[in-house]
């Protein structure tokens, strides 16, 4: 545990299961980047198996923060293996009207991986604030710097992660302005938010997940995805956060950190 005066680090806060509530937000923000959105639409079946993608993402983050060197190597190798074939050159990709609208992408592109890492960071601190409580500026500074390990594990060169939170805010604002959601990406998001298969517990929890995901998104991104919103849904969202916050407060720590414990014991990218 840190000393009373030392700032909290990512290791101190990253195991909270409540952060998983932001999974939908992070994914939709990633999809809203046109290159990432079309790469996922063409190469990923995660919309038909969202639990598998969530499991991989959690294993990746938990291993980087809490895992052994062997676990870190395993998850990095798994990510690199799955990303290797995910690329498309719009200038030499085909020529049909449909293909002409598809942007070029390469899953190993550091700029795209930086955006993925940025969505994980921004979502984590947003959900932490809403469901657990605010952090001090010194805590936020320390946790922010720790998040560079997520980016470098995703092939973002050292030093490309914005140098501090002020630089990150500037980067984030600029990226939000360039997000574009077309019908293809909107269809992927719709399949993700309205699964037609999967475990019963997943489908039963989707109305709440859709509400929380939409409520946590920046307004402009929510609008681009065509997610309904209004005063009534805003009230339901506020109530949902209050309930989730209350439940989280009474859960013992071992329960709140169970996903981390479980995932680290079953690291697999098969």
Q: What's the predicted TM-score (pTM) here?
A: 0.90
Closest to 221 in 3D by CA, of 256, 191, 185, 250: 185
- 125, 142 Cβ separation under 8 angstroms: no
Task: Supply φ then ψ for residue 93, to 5 degrees.
Answer: -95, -15
Residue 43: its pLDDT value, please? Answer: 80
Residue 46: its pLDDT value, please? Answer: 67
Helix axes 165-177, 137-146, angle to 10 degrees: 70
Start-to-end CA span in the chain (Å): 34
DSSP three-state, residue 88: strand
- Cα distances from 122 to residues 60, 147, 219, in angstroms, run 17, 10, 15
Whether residue 100 has pLDDT greater than 50: no
- 124, 15 Cβ separation under 8 angstroms: no
- 10, 65 Cβ separation under 8 angstroms: yes
- 239, 35 Cβ separation under 8 angstroms: no
Whether residue 52 has pLDDT greater than 50: yes
Residue 268: its pLDDT value, please? Answer: 56
Residue 91: its pLDDT value, please? Answer: 61
Neighbours of 181 (CB within 10 A): 20
Mean per-residue pLDDT, 61-76 = 92
149-179 confidence digits (pLDDT tens): 999 988 899 889 999 999 999 999 999 999 9
d(CA 112, CA 110): 5
Mean per-residue pLDDT, 91-98 = 49
Whether residue 183 has pLDDT greater than 80: yes
Residue 47: its pLDDT value, please? Answer: 66
Burial 187-196 (b: 16+ CB within 10 A, else e): ebbebbbebe
Closest to 209 in 3D by CA, of 54, 4, 32, 86: 54
Residue 270 banded pLDDT, cuts 50, 70, 90 = very low
Residue 11: its pLDDT value, please? Answer: 94
Residue 267: its pLDDT value, please? Answer: 75
If one compares 5 and 14, the residue with the highest pLDDT of the two is 14
- 162, 171 Cβ separation under 8 angstroms: yes
């Amino acid at each position: 545990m840190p000393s009373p005066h030392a700032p909290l680090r990512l290791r101190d806060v990253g195991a909270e299961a409540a952060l998983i509530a932001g999974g939908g937000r992070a994914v939709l923000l990633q999809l809203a980047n046109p290159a990432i959105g079309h790469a996922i639409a063409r190469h990923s079946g995660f919309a038909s198996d969202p639990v598998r993608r969530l499991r991989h993402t959690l294993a990746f983050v938990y291993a980087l923060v809490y895992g052994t060197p062997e676990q870190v190597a395993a998850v990095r190798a798994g990510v690199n293996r799955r990303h290797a074939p995910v690329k498309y050159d719009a200038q030499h990709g085909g020529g049909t009207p449909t293909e002409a609208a598809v942007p070029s992408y390469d899953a190993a592109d550091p700029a795209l991986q930086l955006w993925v890492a940025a969505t994980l960071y921004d979502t984590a601190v947003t959900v932490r604030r809403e469901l657990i409580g605010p952090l001090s500026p010194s805590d936020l500074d320390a946790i922010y710097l720790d998040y560079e390990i997520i980016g470098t594990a995703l092939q973002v060169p050292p030093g490309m992660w914005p140098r501090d939170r002020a630089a990150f805010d500037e980067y984030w604002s600029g990226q939000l302005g360039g997000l574009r959601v077309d019908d293809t990406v909107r269809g992927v998001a719709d399949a993700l938010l309205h699964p037609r298969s999967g475990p019963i517990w997943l489908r039963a929890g989707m109305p709440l997940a859709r509400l929380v995901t939409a409520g946590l998104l920046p307004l402009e991104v929510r609008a681009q995805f065509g997610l309904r919103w209004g005063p009534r849904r805003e009230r339901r969202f506020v109530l949902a956060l209050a309930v989730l916050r209350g439940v989280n407060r009474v859960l013992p720590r071992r329960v709140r950190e169970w996903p981390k414990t479980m995932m680290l014991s079953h690291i697999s990218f098969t």
